[in-house]
Structure 1
Amino acid sequence: MTIYTTMPMELVFEGIHEQPGPYVSVQVGDVRLQIEALSPGIGRIVRLMDGPLDAYLRPELTPGTVVAYGPSAP
């Protein structure tokens, strides 16, 4: 693999050896999300795993959005 970039290699490969996660799969209505747990009941959306096509256009389901999940979530 060849990478052509003007960025320093330290920035390009930053975090390459770190383990991501922990991830949790959560069903929100008709959409299944992959959430990265930040604290109990709070997580950041990593990706939409399954759902209707219009769910991908909903701004509240954008990857990177912090959401509440679990039994106490609204």
Structure 2
Amino acid sequence: MILYSVISADQVWDGAIKASPPFREVTVQGIVMQVEPLDEGRARIVRLLQCPLHRYLEPGLAPGQVISYASGAADNR
């Protein structure tokens, strides 16, 4: 692929390669989900990995929602 631009290549590709944040798989209320830890006991939902189909429609389980979980109570995979 050839990219023709008046912007320098450094500006075009700046930030294109970033290390992904550390995701964890946890089980909360019987739902296996991938989360991004924020601080102790709180995390942002990235995606649901395993749950009943009707649970995908719950607004509280949508990606981007912040949830609370106890580190000892959640099954870390």
How many residues were matched structurally?
A: 65
Distance 1:19 1:58, change over 3 A: same
Using structure 1 for the length normalisation, give the TM-score.
Answer: 0.70
Q: Is the 8 A contact 1:42 1:68 kept in 2?
A: yes
Alpha-carbon distance in 2 for matches of 1:14, 1:36: 24
- SS of residue in 2 equivalent to 1:56: helix
In structure 2, the partner of 1:69 is 69
In structure 2, the partner of 1:30 is 30
Q: Is the 8 A contact 1:30 1:52 kept in 2?
A: no
Using structure 2 for the length normalisation, give the TM-score.
Answer: 0.67
Point out the structure with max Rg over C-alpha.
2
Distance 1:40 1:15, change over 3 A: farther
Alpha-carbon distance in 1 for matches of 2:51, 2:23: 18
Q: Is the 8 A contact 1:31 1:50 kept in 2?
A: yes
Matched, 1:17 2:3: no
Query: How far 1:15 sits from its partner (Å)?
Result: 4.4
Unaligned runs of 5+ in 2: 2-10
AA in 1 matched with 2:36:
E
CA RMSD across the alignment: 2.7
Alpha-carbon distance in 2 for matches of 1:34, 1:57: 17
In structure 2, the partner of 1:53 is 53
Alpha-carbon distance in 1 for matches of 2:24, 2:14: 24
Q: Is the 8 A contact 1:34 1:49 kept in 2?
A: yes
Q: What percentage of aligned pairs have identical amino acids? A: 39
